[in-house]
A and B are shown apart, each in its own frame.
Chain A
Amino acid sequence: EDQVTQSPEALRLQEGESSSLNCSYTVSGLRGLFWYRQDPGKGPEFLFTLYSAGEEKEKERLKATLTKKESFLHITAPKPEDSATYLCAVQDSGNTPLVFGKGTRLSVIA
């Protein structure tokens, strides 16, 4: 059974304090690993798709990386507007639906 575990559950950072969020996964065959951002009361907003180990993608202050067992979302010099829940999900090569982790709730304090 596909599994996704995210850590930490919650993270509080000062503005400008860089950090990383972790997503560990177990799948029989990875079609894709996805990162989403979710603001309270809203639907998840797509950030990145990673397909193979060693792949990296960047968007503004965010950088996602992928290994065979985990993915990291690095946040460089975060701002208060980066505060949100960050969700990681995997898509198994044999399945279409996404399997999500519980998310990491990020708070960035000015």
Chain B
Amino acid sequence: DTGVSQNPRHKITKRGQNVTFRCDPISEHNRLYWYRQTLGQGPEFLTYFQNEAQLEKSRLLSDRFSAERPKGSFSTLEIQRTEQGDSAMYLCASSRRAGGTDTQYFGPGTRLTVL
């Protein structure tokens, strides 16, 4: 059973650079989510896709952030012109809505450090 995978696991970048993260969901999961987590806080929702359609974006998601899910498979999250405040763990989760259930399974995360 292959779980959610994320790459890279760690990324160190300089302020102002662009970064891109990849998420591969559990196969056959039609929903994919991105969350951000800072130290001592719970994950905060950024955006989610159902198949290839981006259905919701949080107010937290500034215009420097963009996410895609081409063909409804893997997803990428790009941050342009990174700022020190972007340093966080970026988590991806996937789910397969079945009836009333929608349990989200998380990947290991990508730790971003902006110097």
Contacts and interface: CB of A to CB of B under 8 A. Distances in A.
Contacts of B105: 46
Contact of A32 (B4, B58, B101): B101
A98 B104 contact: yes
B103 A100 contact: no
Contact of A97 (B33, B106, B111): B33
A89 B48 CA distance: 16
Given A43-B109, A97-B56, A49 B91 contact: no
B45 A97 contact: yes
A45 B103 CA distance: 11
Interface string B30-61: 01010100001111110010000001101000
Interface string A24-68: 000000011010100001111110010100000000000000000
Contacts of A91: 102
Contact of B42 (A41, A42, A100): A100
Contacts, number: 62
Nearest to A100: B42
Contacts of B100: 31-32, 51
Contact of A44 (B6, B44, B91, B102): B91
Contacts of A98: 33, 35, 43, 45, 104
A44 B48 contact: no
Given A31-B100, A31-B102, A97-B56, A43 B108 contact: yes
Interface of B: 4, 6, 31, 33, 35, 40-45, 48, 55-56, 58, 91, 100-109, 111
Given A34-B104, A89-B43, A96-B102, 8 more contacts: A32-B103, A41-B109, A43-B91, A43-B107, A49-B103, A51-B100, A95-B56, A103-B42
